[in-house]
Structure 1
């Protein structure tokens, strides 16, 4: 008699089938078919059979089995999950929605179910419900132990461990939105903007209703100056079914960056009409009104801000920074009281403290109390200097490297290349040098559009410098010399393309008034050979003391120490002199004091350099209602006055560090 092999017990055979599912689904199906022959309808075997059929590409048969299982076992999450996924993959989104709604009802704390439901709802055109499903997924993920652990690691600065944990999660849960957003934050903390954007964009693609991820993406896009994309996402965020004031605020901030001031104004006014007790929003409204030239409403908005929050230093400084507004004794008393209330809170409230010192410096200056004025300016600058990075030695070395790279011999030997567009007019120089006045005069010409201080040239220059910093080239000169004509043309075209978003009038020429572009005059000439460069220059003591008294919202880190600002001015004059020798006539210089003394003659000279006819409107620049975003916004809305040509004289007793730093440039600055 022949012995027969006894079949394995059903539970063992089922385990064997499970083990074969991923790599050998056909064998798994054979095993469960054998089980079902002896135990017809056995639910666990039917479930494995459906999964095997799915992996074998037999979706229709798999769906039939899963449907039957779901009807018979409506409270088994695994069945609903498999049915929802397979129905979505098969394009049967109504069936997917039904299964996933049942699943999330059973397991509301499992984020992945909500994200799957969101995708299925979106595919059926139910965008609002899909958005809410994504938000429910985000809410559920906030209690996920694995994500919580990664968040703790990240916030503790243990970025590598956090990244490893999130990467392992994504290996199991592809395109998990919260894990992707967190990976994006890790990359951002490391300064890797490319990786940060890639991760966060994936998170938003996977869950378009993930509002916090979209908010983060908008901020990343703004930091990298991808403003049209930022606007698209900000407008999407403002449509969230769970409205928040923060969504409107970030939309307004993008609009401001794009120059759409009126639309931003409307947002701020609507928010304040609904809830007036918002000092930050009053301040933001003040900024927009100032830019639009609505000075009286701007003053009212700033005063609303400080009335609601007397220690709000930036709002006080915004009032002082209008230049045409004088802060009186009552204002001084209020600011001194606010400063006293912040005593001992320097670390937590540094920004309010230094803003108040700058504001008091301006108020005492208006009152002609120059010792008190200098003391407050000095304290404000000293505190602000502790918060910024500026290495004067390194900067001087960079300037010298640029001068050596763009020597006369190099410029003479440059082959054809560079983008031939004649559109840009670069107005360069130091802040507070009269550059805004030059810009406003030129922007009053019918052929020239005024934009703003554009970062694009600095971004291109920074990208090129990084190739030196990373060791690809021995020095800056070697990197510049390596650029082919095609490279130079591509870089110039990139600048023209990236600045197009700021051009709104159709005029053939436009102004880029980023003052720091004086550092890149050689690069400008190399990649945009037909661009024009206007150097706005002012007497060094007047320019430097005006810069030192000015708190800048960002950048200009050299202005918070009299010795450092003097040295910076000296570097600037030195590089521009070197470039004048290397490329005579490439740069047109406007001396502020000469512009004030004989405006028409100077305007005719600069228009001649630009190849444009004289227009009377350039002398009536104060009638131009264009938006102006710099510290001189109110001054350029008035005719030229000779008052204040030498502001340094009021602070003469304290200027020894500045005079020493300037050295021979003090007399040879022209």
Structure 2
């Protein structure tokens, strides 16, 4: 107590310890220990002690003290409030709590990690990486920060570095289920499915019976077409955790699964439990919506779909009006004259084939058809275009800050070509088959079509279009792993569809013939005719294999994975009609499109 008392206050004692750290780590450590004798779990003193131990060369003891500081953070009221705000999607509120804390407590690796999480959720991965590296400089053994760093690196298309971070974690704890699952998920995103399955096999051989491991294992098996194995894995997860909403939804998301009465009763019981977590409830209600739809109990089904969407919307920050303004700005800026003035900009490669449009509009079916062609490789919903846009906005191209689409007016010919080359370089890691052309199937790239044209003027673009009511209701029934914030409200969804059609109509005028439109209902009605038309638009010869796409054994990651392994059928046509009594807000938002 003497040292603390002489300093006059805890704050002064900590400040004195910080000053000593630079010149006399031993004295700084003693100062921290004096504080900890009075307040054994004073977190700032723990961080000070850990820093002093590292400066003195005692890394083992430093790591122990750092872990104590990390564990203690769960009791800090400010960090608890910030964590709750992040979990609820109130990112600005969390940032307002955390930034002053990090300023006054620069060694608090947990607060820094939480700030980085906000950047991650906003998609600002460069900033997230910087924060996570800072946290790891303070606490090299901070496993959660290292796992997050791996994710941030992956989002920046740096998979080799990301895998190194996971391997560092697994070297310290080979049986760490969370890290193994995260590594396997990353390998799956890279298309390294055999390696991902090996990760799960190794973990399960260690008898680490983790529900999340079984869930992830099931997801990978589903992707590669091992349906029965996936079902068994999901069932094992539910044996271990009967209320695990995500496992129930994963079964429902097979789209060809049928729940029995016991399943429905188990889900109802889990959803009625007052202690159920919000994430489980969302998945349970989506799964129950699917179960009652199959049973043709449409009112009950819609009730569960509505509750699932209501709960999900609470944690989503979607501004429909802002999207409408963004589309209007793009229409005003990206005129035919705008594009004529920038003719032949960008990289000349014709390798990419973009499939854009609304989610649940048949884009996976189109990808499956095209990837059955000997010259075309299917990849995934690639993040590269949004990442390049983020890079462009960070660089700002000089002058005052602008957002997309206005920022494209500052793009020069050299920069457009460089961005095109960056895209081709970044997507190369997803290309495994060495074919001349590859597919980028991120539907939301419709919003960035002008940027795509500027940087890749010879890339092919297909607009996957589906009946607005079928398409929007199919989105309403779907719980997406990430993104698609517009899809959890019938009104938001109708506005989103209208903005999408409005922009694509403008593109048809400003860049006539640039986009080939594939109407889902026409493809179902006459597959050969529409497939021949599409291949001709892509300058590809017709191949019979494209008609037999369902025999293609390629991995498929999207919710339609089981559906595209069957011949074309009309199962999804006019499914909305059974729910028509409750779709008034959607029809109103769609307006004259219905």
TM-score (norm 2): 0.82
Return closer, same or farther for 1:483/1:367 CA change in 2, 3 Å cut-off: same
In structure 2, the residue matched to 1:662 is 590
In structure 2, the residue matched to 1:353 is 281
After TM superposition, give the deviation of residue 443 of structure 1 in Å: 0.8
| Equivalent pair of 1:166/1:183 in contact (CA under 8 Å) | no
| Structure 1 stretch displaced more, 401-410 or 512-521 | 401-410
Return closer, same or farther for 1:310/1:602 CA change in 2, 3 Å cut-off: same
In structure 2, the residue matched to 1:380 is 308
After TM superposition, give the deviation of residue 114 of structure 1 in Å: 6.4
In structure 1, the residue matched to 2:484 is 556
Which of 446, 460, 471 does residue 388 from structure 2 map onto?
Answer: 460
SS at match of 1:356: helix
Separation in structure 2 between the aligned mates of residue 458 and residue 626 of structure 1, nearest angstrom: 26
In structure 2, the residue matched to 1:573 is 501
After TM superposition, give the deviation of residue 300 of structure 1 in Å: 1.1
Return closer, same or farther for 1:200/1:475 CA change in 2, 3 Å cut-off: closer
| Equivalent pair of 1:151/1:182 in contact (CA under 8 Å) | no
Return closer, same or farther for 1:385/1:196 CA change in 2, 3 Å cut-off: closer
Unaligned runs of at least 5 residues, structure 1: 1-54, 56-76, 82-108, 119-132, 170-178
Separation in structure 2 between the aligned mates of residue 185 and residue 339 of structure 1, nearest angstrom: 30
Which of 296, 303, 315 does residue 247 from structure 2 map onto?
Answer: 315
> Superposition RMSD on alpha carbons, in Å?
3.2
5 Å matches for 1:5-16?
Answer: none
5 Å matches for 1:544-623?
Answer: 544-623=472-551
**Which of the pair has more CA radius of gyration?**
1
Separation in structure 2 between the aligned mates of residue 181 and residue 387 of structure 1, nearest angstrom: 23
In structure 2, the residue matched to 1:534 is 462
Return closer, same or farther for 1:295/1:472 CA change in 2, 3 Å cut-off: same
**Count of aligned residue pairs for this structure pair:** 535
| Equivalent pair of 2:259/2:291 in contact (CA under 8 Å) | yes
Separation in structure 1 between the aligned mates of residue 174 and residue 228 of structure 2, nearest angstrom: 36
After TM superposition, give the deviation of residue 314 of structure 1 in Å: 0.9
Describe the superposition over 1:569-597 as per-residue Cα deviations: whole angstroms up to 9, x where unpaired.
Answer: 11111110110011111000001111111
SS at match of 1:438: helix
In structure 1, the residue matched to 2:206 is 274
5 Å matches for 1:502-517?
Answer: 502-517=430-445
In structure 2, the residue matched to 1:140 is 65
SS at match of 2:171: coil
After TM superposition, give the deviation of residue 418 of structure 1 in Å: 0.5
SS at match of 1:664: helix
In structure 1, the residue matched to 2:237 is 305
Return closer, same or farther for 1:115/1:504 CA change in 2, 3 Å cut-off: farther
5 Å matches for 1:81-480?
Answer: 111=50, 115=54, 134-142=59-67, 158-167=97-106, 183=112, 185-189=114-118, 193-201=125-133, 211-240=143-172, 244-275=176-207, 277-340=209-272, 342=273, 344-345=274-275, 349-464=277-392, 472=400, 476=404, 478-480=406-408
| Equivalent pair of 2:175/2:206 in contact (CA under 8 Å) | no
Describe the superposition over 1:357-416 as per-residue Cα deviations: whole angstroms up to 9, x where unpaired.
Answer: 111111111111112111211121122111211111111111111122211121122143
Return closer, same or farther for 1:310/1:149 CA change in 2, 3 Å cut-off: closer
| Equivalent pair of 2:476/2:490 in contact (CA under 8 Å) | yes
After TM superposition, give the deviation of residue 420 of structure 1 in Å: 1.2
Unaligned runs of at least 5 residues, structure 2: 1-22, 30-47, 83-96
Return closer, same or farther for 1:475/1:499 CA change in 2, 3 Å cut-off: closer
Separation in structure 1 between the aligned mates of residue 233 and residue 342 of structure 2, nearest angstrom: 53
Separation in structure 1 between the aligned mates of residue 146 and residue 571 of structure 2, nearest angstrom: 49
| Equivalent pair of 1:184/1:198 in contact (CA under 8 Å) | no
Flag the structure with more relative contact order, 1 or 2, with Cα contacts below 8 A and sequence separation at least 6. 2
Separation in structure 2 between the aligned mates of residue 638 and residue 316 of structure 1, nearest angstrom: 23
